[in-house]
A and B are shown apart, each in its own frame.
Chain A
């Protein structure tokens, strides 16, 4: 469904009074393949290039080299109109549910906005959009009574549900989850994760799940890749990678995972 072929992204160094700083290689020959209906986990630490990759997939950044194919179409070769149509089918849920919702827009307007932007595809009038917004809120566990509230009236978990509802509005096929739970309380994380798993089953979605939390990835994803300083250092089936890591980095990460032991064994 989504093919990433040898994608590199280099940010040129800044020229200043004291000479030029080194160019930053954010992505180095990254190749991934996300299977339709699957959940692909991308694991890496801060600064490893995860976010640059999502920005490239959404074409908010243009890769320096390499190709990104969505259902066989090269995103770079698309006309602006065709790109807009593709954007209805690839959606994203951001890490920070506080900054990713416009504070001046009501929940209704936030959730209905993709429907307005893609009205040529969705073909809904004002009234139908309001109904669809209620339907989407119900899907993520919120109610019609939340429709006319503003983001600041919600908790972090609820805001993330609003973000998920917005991502689902246009019936997308692929959803990029950019650390969707890492800004949430641990107790809320589990609820949101379960919601995501449930939605994937019900709406037959494909996920590209980005996280630095191996535990979360192991819980949700069936395939994973490890990214380190812009390079993919390991990829494979989740179980295989966890049981039998090939690279030093993977072994290190897995060894560093906190384990839950009973009080008796700890003492």
Chain B
């Protein structure tokens, strides 16, 4: 009865191949992917790539203070004679991984809460949304400070603290989108076929609200990295000898404009990270949203 002959590969493999192809068609998303992959590699291997690994542990070389960029010190040296290039490489780990962890954790909590609230409605919705409203009334940074102070300093505690103040934004976004999609005819169609709530939520509703979530995630990566830096600046989170972009910047602030290299390079690192994640986010949206493709 199979008049058309059978197709050579299963649909899932084909869909994956097609998604990769579509992604590779856009030069900018490839640049974003390259930047993000490079950053992640540096985050993982940074300390071992640094030309002066001893500076990462807090070693100083006062004889070589404020050297401008040269072959020995591509990004120059800072007020303690430490190699800025090494510090920026070493700082990638804290900044990028903490930012990533914050956004992932925030999205995860926010999506679960928002999806349940939007799909269930009624009292569940009321309770969950009032809780997230409560979170929104407290400024994120202050809440993160309070949580971090209660949990004690440390990178993990800092991530948890920021993520706890981060999820309500996602919860509200996801809830609104779920409520709108829930009434779509294709959701009714799925219910008529006999699909259960889990399938309807994960297969029909969530894929259709992925675009705004991904866009928000890529935008938030920059804010998350900045928030991590802010907490570092006020002394919660990373302990001083560990380099971190935000604290490198804030220390270097005092030496502008004469010793510009101490501030410019950590700043460029932050810029590159944010830029890379934004391009990647755009590329991912094109893959996930066949309609937005041009």
Q: Which residues of A contact B (CB under 8 A)?
A: 58, 60, 83-84, 87-88, 91-92, 94, 96, 99-106, 108-109, 112-114, 117-118, 126-127, 130-131, 133-135, 137-138, 143-144, 147-148, 150, 152, 163, 166
CB <8 Å contact, A126 and B12 = yes
**Distance A137 CA – B6 CA, assembled complex (angstroms):** 12
Query: From residue B185, how far is it (CB to closest CB) to chain A in Å?
Result: 4
Q: How far is the CB of A167 from chain B (nearest CB, A)?
A: 9
Between B4, B15, B194, B288, the greatest number of chain A beta carbons within 10 A of the residue's beta carbon is seen for B194
In the bound complex, how far is the Cα of B1 from the Cα of A138, in angstroms?
9
Q: Say yes or no: B2 contacts A106, CB within 8 Å.
A: no
| CB pairs A–B below 8 angstroms (27 shown) | A60-B188, A87-B192, A96-B185, A99-B184, A99-B185, A102-B190, A103-B290, A103-B291, A104-B207, A104-B290, A106-B15, A112-B11, A113-B193, A113-B195, A117-B193, A117-B199, A126-B12, A130-B7, A130-B10, A133-B11, A135-B1, A135-B3, A143-B4, A150-B290, A150-B291, A152-B290, A163-B189
Q: Which of B4, B193, B208 contacts A144 (CB 8 A)?
A: B4
B208 A103 Cβ-Cβ under 8 A: yes
Complex interface: chain A residues within 8 A of B5 (CB): 144
Contact partner, B7, options A83, A91, A94, A134, Cβ 8 Å: A134
- The distance in angstroms between the C-alpha atoms of A96 and B10, with both chains bound, is 30
How many positions in chain B have a CB within 8 Å of any CB in the partner chain? 33
Residues in B with CB closer than 8 Å to A105 are 203-204, 207
Question: With A99-B184, A103-B291, A135-B2 as given contacts, are A92 and B189 in contact (CB-CB < 8 Å)?
Answer: yes
A102 touches B204 (CB 8 A): yes
**Which single residue of chain B is at the shortest CB-CB distance from A109?**
B11
Expressed in whole angstroms, the Cα–Cα distance for A100 and B191 within the complex equals 11
A126-B10 Cα distance, complex, nearest whole Å: 7
Chain A residue numbers with a CB within 8 Å of B253 are none
Given contacts A134-B6, A135-B1, contact A100 B193 (CB under 8 A): no
Q: Are A106 and B185 in contact (CB under 8 A)?
A: no
> CA separation between A103 and B184, bound complex, in Å?
11
For residue B1, which residues in chain A have a CB less than 8 angstroms away from its CB? Answer: 135
B239 within 8 A of A: no
Residue of B nearest to A86 (CB): B194
Residues in A with CB closer than 8 Å to B188 are: 60, 94, 100
CB atoms of B11 and A134 under 8 A apart: no
**Residue in chain B with minimal CB distance to A125:** B10
CA separation between A114 and B192, bound complex, in Å? 10
Task: List the 9 closest A-B pairs by CB distance, nearest first.
Answer: A87-B194, A99-B185, A144-B4, A108-B11, A104-B207, A102-B186, A100-B185, A58-B192, A84-B194
Q: CA–CA, A238 to B195, complex, Å?
A: 36
Residues from chain A with a CB closer than 8 A to the CB of B208 are: 102-104
Question: Would you call A117 and B195 a contact (CB within 8 A)?
Answer: yes
A94/B4 contact (C-beta < 8 A), A87-B192, A152-B291 known: no
Residue of chain A at shortest CB distance from B1: A135
| Contact between B7 and A138, CB atoms less than 8 A apart | no
Q: Which residues of A contact B290 (CB under 8 A)?
A: 103-104, 150, 152
Q: Is the CB of A100 within 8 A of B189?
A: yes
* Nearest CB in chain B: distance from A44 CB, A: 20
Q: How far is the CA of A63 from the CA of B107 in the complex (A)?
A: 40
Q: How far is the CB of B279 from chain A (nearest CB, A)?
A: 23
CB within 8 Å for A147 and B189 given contacts A117-B199, A135-B1, A152-B290: no
Given A94-B189, A99-B186, A138-B3, also A114-B207 (CB < 8 A): no
B residues 1-53 in Cβ contact with A at 8 Å: 1-7, 10-12, 14-15, 18
Given known A-B contacts A99-B184, A138-B3, A148 and B194 have beta carbons under 8 A apart:
no
Chain B residues within an 8 Å CB radius of A138? 2-4
Give the shortest distance, in Å, between A196 (CB) and chain B (any CB).
Answer: 18
Query: Shortest beta-carbon distance, A143 to chain B, in Å?
Result: 6
| A109 CA / B189 CA spacing, docked (Å) | 14
Q: Are B189 and A144 in contact (CB under 8 A)?
A: no
Query: Complex Cα distance A63/B199, Å?
Result: 25
| Complex Cα–Cα for A105 and B12 (A) | 11
Listed residue (B186, B204, B291) with the most chain A CB atoms within 10 angstroms of its CB: B186
In whole angstroms, how far apart are the Cα atoms of A228 and B78 in the complex?
85
A103 to B5, CA, bound (A): 27
Query: Which residues 146-197 in B have Cβ within 8 Å of A in the complex?
Result: 184-186, 188-195
| Contact yes or no, B6 A148, CB < 8 A | no
- Given A94-B189, A117-B193, A117-B199, does the pair A106, B4 have CB atoms closer than 8 Å? no
Instruction: Tell me the complex Cα distance, A232–B194, Å.
Output: 29
